[in-house]
């Protein structure tokens, strides 16, 4: 599970993790559940259907497949699997029964989504599991606790019946050592605050918290202060113009960068104090493209 | 409720824009002309503007922007302003004096309104309480108590994905109806998609008014002879499936909920439609908020299209967290080459770092311009203002004031 505040790049990190886990000929499934088509946008493909499709092959014979889970489709699939509804299920959808069911019982939607993840995770082909790993681009930190805590949400409504046992099965998997919830953050105040809050919430709910992944990180600065005279000397030594405008401009930029880095350092300390393993992914100067994802996957594979 | 089926808004939608032959204007307008500048002060000072709605993707500084605009309206333009925030960061909330979520506007103290005579009030939305208030307003206390006790109501009022959006609009409607404010600034919920905020009220209202509910409530009423035997037959199957999957207790709770809500259908629908019309009126100004990142800008463009379709007045785009170098030269390539030379020379660590930071800033600025252009190319008529990234995060009134100045005088 990969969560994080909106805008921290959790979709990119989830994709990089799926790539990293597909090394050495393994097969992974990258799943999204919020209908954002973030995976398709990241890889520049057309919209993903509710169907497991090969997204990329990885050197060494591995592959990443992708799936966009849709709650309606998942409900129909579920009903079909357990109740053999067939065409009748489609009729239900036609006049809004599915929309109705998932609206009146919001927890139902989440059980369906996580239930699909469980199905893919535990599915076998022959004697082996179909996937070596399933990576979920999960809802953001603000919703992650409620999303994963499916039993609590459904228990309120369904005291008995298959939905209850289904949600208990999902909950057991999500709390097992097979699951890790990684939290993506930037070295900015609000994402770090939400990371701290989410880890507290996940821990209280007994979900296995994995790593704290700092995205778009820059290394610490060597020097914390630079004088204009120093800059002038440096510019002259490099054979660059050292006029007043250039020197004061660079000085202003360096000062702002120092303020920013000092804040980043204190946030980094705050994250370390959580006592969770911390991974830093570098800021990619050209943005996150396919080559960039491989760089991030390389870092994730090495930890 | 369904949105009006009127044609797409005239000048904001790209497909319409293309129908204007460019050749007629080519002589007068430079082909690469930048987007018009968004004059935020003009909007905030205009007594005809009573509502400013800030919308955009999560994590772009929407709440901070809303608070900064409201502060400026009070301090600089002397308006009696209220800002409705949805889920502010703790320290930002504290800076506005919002220590608890009590669903009532509270006056913000310690701001500079002596000269202008304005006022700033702030409130945090309590979704559940707002829903409860709506129920209370539309039904008698006995029935309300019944509704509050129903597990479906509890689930829906606290977790339904659209409830927050719906209740934000409901609260806006309430504040507007009280007529106490010169200006209401609304922050919109951090939805999975900006669309939720426009769609959820209609969706919830459609749901509460929907045939599925009516079928559950009284199949005979909707059924009769004309109402397709298929629906009735499928519905019987639907309740059997629900019963099988969820259990009989659930169905009892559900029909109890539906029966209790029945008296409120008309009210819900009417209120949602009223708020929808307020949003279309001239007194409303929508501001898109984005950061120069692909997702945020894509969301803003999508939203601009939707506002056009819904005939809602889009005032402009606030592009937050834009990086601007303090000096343009030396360029990135020269700076990096010089940093290399100085590293070899030794003894100039600080300058090396400053040059590398400068190069990174230039590259980032170029990348951000490219991203922002995807919006301005699609919507060249929408005014834009870029707000320079602050080195540190904002969580006090001084910081909000500084942002207000930055938005108005870029």
Q: Which of A76, A105, A218 to mutate against chain B (most B CBs within 10 Å)? A: A105
Q: Which of B202, B353, B367 to mutate against chain A (most A CBs within 10 Å)? A: B353
Q: Which of A10, A80, A103 to mutate against chain B (most B CBs within 10 Å)? A: A103
Cβ contact A158–B159 (<8 Å):
no
- Scanning every residue of chain A, which has its alpha carbon at the shortest distance from the alpha carbon of B200? A103
Cβ contact B392–A263 (<8 Å):
yes
pLDDT at residue number A51: 92
Asked whether residue B21 is domain-assigned, the answer is no
CA distance, residue B275 to nearest chain A CA (Å): 22
DSSP notation for B163-191:
HHHHHHHHHHHHHHHHT--SEEEEEPP--
Domain A2-221+275-301, what fold?
A: Rossmann fold (3.40.50)
d(CA B35, CA B37): 6
pLDDT at residue number A74: 83
**Average of pLDDT values for B43-58?**
93
Asked whether residue B28 is domain-assigned, the answer is no
pLDDT at residue number B251: 64
- The answer on pLDDT for B16 being more than 60 is no
pLDDT at residue number A79: 72
Cβ contact A237–B342 (<8 Å):
yes
CA distance, residue B59 to nearest chain A CA (Å): 5
pLDDT at residue number B295: 82
- The answer on pLDDT for B12 being more than 60 is no
B166 touching A (Cβ < 8 Å): no
CATH number at residue B207: 3.40.50.300
Asked whether residue B347 is domain-assigned, the answer is no
Asked whether residue B1 is domain-assigned, the answer is no
B232-238: long-range contacts, CB 8 A cutoff, minimum separation 24:
B234/A88, B234/A91, B234/A92, B234/A95, B234/A97, B237/A88, B237/A91, B237/A92, B238/A92, B238/A97
Please give the structure tokens belonging to residue A283.
């800021």
- Scanning every residue of chain A, which has its alpha carbon at the shortest distance from the alpha carbon of B253? A157
Q: Answer for the pair B72, B305: CB distance below 8 angstroms, yes or no.
A: no
**Strand arrangement, sheet containing A53-58:** A53-58, A62-68, A27-32, A133-137, A2-4, A181-185, A209-217, A278-282
Provide the CA B277 distance to its chain's centre, in angstroms. Answer: 17
Closest to A213 in 3D by CA, of A115, A141, A132 = A141
| 3 state SS of A196 | helix
CA distance, residue A190 to nearest chain B CA (Å): 7
Strand duo A128-129 + A124-125: pairing? antiparallel
The region, left, alpha or beta by phi > 0 then psi within -120 to 50, assigned to residue B192 is alpha
- Listed by number, the residues of chain B in 119-148 with a beta carbon closer than 8 Å to a beta carbon of chain A are none
Cβ contact A250–B326 (<8 Å):
yes
**Strand arrangement, sheet containing B314-322:** B106-107, B119-124, B80-85, B183-187, B51-55, B284-290, B314-322, B384-388
pLDDT at residue number B261: 67
B236 touching A (Cβ < 8 Å): no
pLDDT at residue number A298: 96
CA distance, residue A244 to nearest chain B CA (Å): 11
Which segments of chain A does DSSP mark as H helices, in order? 10-21, 38-43, 71-83, 87-94, 97-104, 106-122, 141-148, 150-155, 162-174, 189-204, 228-237, 244-272, 290-301
Mean pLDDT by 10 residues, chain A (303 residues): 92 97 95 89 90 93 94 79 66 64 69 90 93 96 87 68 80 95 94 94 96 91 84 96 96 91 93 96 86 96 90
Closest to B85 in 3D by CA, of B56, B63, B70 = B63
d(CA B410, CA B386): 7
Of B59, B234, B391, the CB nearest to A259: B391
Q: Answer for the pair A35, B192: CB distance below 8 angstroms, yes or no.
A: yes
CA distance, residue A56 to nearest chain B CA (Å): 22
Residues in A closer than 8 angstroms to B227, CB to CB, are none
The tally of CA atoms less than 13 A away on the side-chain side of residue A98 is 19
pLDDT in tens, B331-367: 999 999 999 999 999 999 999 999 999 999 999 999 9
CA distance, residue A122 to nearest chain B CA (Å): 22
DSSP notation for B119-147:
EEEEEE--HHHHHHHHHHHHS-HHHHHHH
Prior bond to B15 cis, omega within 30?
no
Closest to A38 in 3D by CA, of B318, B57, B310 = B57
- The answer on pLDDT for B36 being more than 60 is yes
Asked whether residue B226 is domain-assigned, the answer is yes
Q: Cα dist. B362→A155, A187, B50, B329, B359 in Å?
A: 54, 21, 40, 9, 5
pLDDT at residue number A90: 67
Task: Categorize the per-residue pLDDT at B92 as very low, low, confident or very high, splitting at 50, 70 and 90.
Answer: confident
**Average of pLDDT values for B246-266?**
67
Q: Domain count of chain B?
A: 1
Around Cβ A52, how many Cβ atoms within 10 Å?
18
Q: Which of A4, A6, A76 to mutate against chain B (most B CBs within 10 Å)? A: A6
Of B161, B190, B342, the CB nearest to A238: B342
Check residues A151 and B215 and name the one with the higher pLDDT.
A151
d(CA B10, CA B309): 9
pLDDT at residue number B271: 76
Of A106, A246, A286, the CB nearest to B159: A106
- The answer on pLDDT for B326 being more than 60 is yes
B302 touching A (Cβ < 8 Å): no
Interface contacts (A, B; CB < 8 Å): 210
d(CA B264, CA B278): 21
pLDDT at residue number B42: 96
CA distance, residue A208 to nearest chain B CA (Å): 24
pTM, 2 dp:
0.81
**Average of pLDDT values for B149-154?**
80
Q: Which of B391, B394, B396, B402 to mutate against chain A (most A CBs within 10 Å)? A: B391
B334 touching A (Cβ < 8 Å): yes
Of A34, A85, A189, the CB nearest to B192: A34
Domain ranges in chain A? Answer: 2-221+275-301
Check residues A25 and B89 and name the one with the higher pLDDT.
A25
Comparing B61-70, B156-165, B218-227, which segment has the lowest mean pLDDT? B218-227
Q: What percent of chain B has pLDDT over 90?
A: 42
Asked whether residue B83 is domain-assigned, the answer is yes
End-to-end CA separation in angstroms for chain A: 17
- Scanning every residue of chain A, which has its alpha carbon at the shortest distance from the alpha carbon of B213? A100
Of A104, A223, A259, the CB nearest to B254: A104
ipTM beyond cut 0.85: no
Q: Cα dist. B8→B17, B195, B278, B282, B308 in Å?
A: 11, 17, 18, 17, 6
Of B211, B247, B353, the CB nearest to A159: B247
pLDDT at residue number B227: 39
d(CA A218, CA B342): 21
pLDDT at residue number B87: 74
CA distance, residue A127 to nearest chain B CA (Å): 31
Look up the domain containing B143 and give its range: 33-330+362-408
CB neighbour list of residue A39: distance below 8 Å, 6 or more residues apart? A11, A15, A30, A32, A48, A55, A66, A68, A137
Percent helix, strand and coil across chain B, each to the nearest 5: 55, 10, 35
| 3 state SS of B85 | strand
């Amino acid at each position: 599970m990969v969560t994080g505040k909106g805008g921290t790049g959790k979709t990119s990190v989830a994709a990089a993790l799926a790539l990293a886990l597909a090394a050495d000929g393994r097969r992974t499934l990258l799943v999204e559940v919020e209908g954002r088509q973030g995976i398709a946008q990241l890889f520049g493909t057309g919209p993903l259907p509710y169907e497991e499709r090969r997204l990329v092959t990885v050197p060494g014979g591995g592959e990443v497949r992708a799936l966009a889970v849709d709650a309606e489709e998942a409900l129909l699939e579920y009903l079909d699997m357990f109740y053999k509804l067939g065409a009748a299920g489609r009729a239900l959808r036609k006049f809004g029964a599915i929309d109705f069911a998932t609206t009146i019982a919001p927890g139902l939607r989440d059980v369906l989504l996580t239930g699909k993840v469980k199905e893919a995770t535990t599915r076998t082909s022959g004697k082996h599991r179909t996937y070596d790993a399933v990576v979920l681009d999960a809802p953001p930190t603000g919703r992650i606790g409620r999303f994963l805590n499916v039993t609590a949400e459904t228990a309120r409504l369904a005291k008995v019946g298959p939905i209850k046992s289904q949600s208990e099965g999902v909950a057991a998997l999500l709390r097992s050592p097979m699951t890790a919830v990684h939290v993506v953050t930037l070295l900015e105040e609000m994402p770090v605050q939400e990371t701290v809050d989410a880890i507290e919430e996940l821990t209280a709910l007994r979900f296995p918290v994995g790593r704290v992944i700092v995205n778009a990180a820059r290394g610490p600065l060597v020097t914390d202060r630079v004088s204009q005279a120093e800059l002038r000397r440096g510019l002259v030594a490099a054979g660059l113009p050292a006029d007043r405008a250039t020197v004061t401009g660079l000085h202003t930029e360096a000062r702002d960068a120092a303020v920013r880095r000092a804040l980043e350092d204190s946030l980094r300390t705050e994250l370390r104090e959580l006592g969770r393993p911390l991974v830093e992914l570098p800021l990619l100067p050209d943005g996150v493209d396919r080559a960039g994802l491989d760089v991030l996957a390389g870092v994730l594979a090495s930890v | 409720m369904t949105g009006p089926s009127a044609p797409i808004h005239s000048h904001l939608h790209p497909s319409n824009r293309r129908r204007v032959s460019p050749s007629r204007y080519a002589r007068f307008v430079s082909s690469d002309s930048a987007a018009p500048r968004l004059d935020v002060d003009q909007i905030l000072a205009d007594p005809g503007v009573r509502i400013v709605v800030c919308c955009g993707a999560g994590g772009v500084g929407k709440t901070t922007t809303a608070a900064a605009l409201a502060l400026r309206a009070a301090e600089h333009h002397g308006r009696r302003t209220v800002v409705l925030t949805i889920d502010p960061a703790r320290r930002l909330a504290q800076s506005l004096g919002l220590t608890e979520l009590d669903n009532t506007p509270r006056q913000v103290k310690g701001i500079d309104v002596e000269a202008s005579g304005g006022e700033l009030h702030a409130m945090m939305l309590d979704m559940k309480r707002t829903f409860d208030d709506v129920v209370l307003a539309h039904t008698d206390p006995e029935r309300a108590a019944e509704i509050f006790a129903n597990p479906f109501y509890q689930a829906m009022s606290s977790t339904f994905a659209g409830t927050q959006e719906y209740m934000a609009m409901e609260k806006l409607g309430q504040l507007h109806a009280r007529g106490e404010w010169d200006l209401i600034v609304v922050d919109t919920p951090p939805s999975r998609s900006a669309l939720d905020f426009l769609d959820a009220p209609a969706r919830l209202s459609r749901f509460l008014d929907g045939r599925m509910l009516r079928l559950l409530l009284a199949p005979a009423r909707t059924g009769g002879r004309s109402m397709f035997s298929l629906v009735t037959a499928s519905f019987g199957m639907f309740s059997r499936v629900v019963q099988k999957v969820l259990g009989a207790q659930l169905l009892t709770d559900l029909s109890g909920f539906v029966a209790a809500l029945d008296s409120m259908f008309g009210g819900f629908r009417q209120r949602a439609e009223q708020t929808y019309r307020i949003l279309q009126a001239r007194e409303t100004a929508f501001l898109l908020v984005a950061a120069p990142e692909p997702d945020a800008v894509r969301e803003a463009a999508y939203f601009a299209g939707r506002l056009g379709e819904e005939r809602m007045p889009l005032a402009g785009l606030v592009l937050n967290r834009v990086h601007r170098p303090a000096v343009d030269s030396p360029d990135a390539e020269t700076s990096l080459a010089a940093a290399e030379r100085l590293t070899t020379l030794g003894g100039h660590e600080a300058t090396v770092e400053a040059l590398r930071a400068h190069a990174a800033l230039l590259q980032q600025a170029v990348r951000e311009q490219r991203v922002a252009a995807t919006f301005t190319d699609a919507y060249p008529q929408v005014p834009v203002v870029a707000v320079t990234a602050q080195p540190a995060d904002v969580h006090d009134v001084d910081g909000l004031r500084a942002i207000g100045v930055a938005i108005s005088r870029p």
